Structure 1
Amino acid sequence: MTSTDTLALDNQLCFSLYRAQRLMTRTYQDLLKELGLTYPQYLAMLVLWETQGSVTMKELAARLKLDSGTLTPLVKRLVAMGLVSKERDVADERRTILLLTDAGAALRSQAEKVPAQIYTLCNSEGLDLHTVKGELDALSQHLSKR
């Protein structure tokens, strides 16, 4: 097999993205141990902090691109940890609203240092992380139109 082989693993864009994603997730996991969060829980908390502590399950699922079968156990763990509470929407009882608890809101101050730590750990000569993020966002947007 040659390096110009179109089916060579190292020539696949998908594998480069997969490998980088796994390493990035592992890097986040190491930092998030201090917060007591898994990476998916951290993403859910980011949405809650961004929305001032209130979001519906449907909105959270849409933001995280998760189905309810994946999101429900994640939210149950956040509730059990005392970071989030759930209540039914009084206007529409079919909707579940997630609310940050005081403990969940307080965790934000600890989490605020994570992005800077990630950028420090990922910083590499000749690599502009803001450009990489922008290009990945553009790729995601392009692929989501399909």
Structure 2
Amino acid sequence: MPPEPVMSREAVSAFLDEVFPQIHHGGPGPVVEAVGPLSATMRLPYHERHLRPGGTISGPAMMGLADVALYVAVLASLGPVPLAVTTNLSFNFMRKPARRDLIGEARLMKLGRQLAVGEVLIRSEGEDDLVCHATGTYAIPPR
């Protein structure tokens, strides 16, 4: 059984607001929907600033959602570790997302002393089909 989170959804949200106040600059930023054992669910509210030519949500917006979802899963599992950093991200864009909120479900597959490895499944709100699958690694600083 994976360990229960050490930070609540509210605590992670407050921590993000404190250390990344710019996350909401220019419009709504990602929202922590839930945290669980080695997992986090994030919402990226739909906003026109995330669109690219052709009217689809941009790849960089989905990349940002995946990155922060993995970070939140790490924070919820370990506690406030502001200097945990992304060391690798890989993306497979599966289909054009709808013009609505995106939901990113992160799951840590390995949580070690120095590295966390996980995946993020991104869907348009209300749809079952994936719009993006991401994998990533975070380096965890010594405590």
Normalising by the smaller structure, the TM-score range is under 0.3
Query: What's the TM-score once normalised by structure 1's chain length?
Result: 0.25
More strand by share: 2
Larger Rg: 1
Query: Whose RCO is larger (CA < 8 A, sep 6+)?
Result: 2
Query: What's the TM-score once normalised by structure 2's chain length?
Result: 0.25
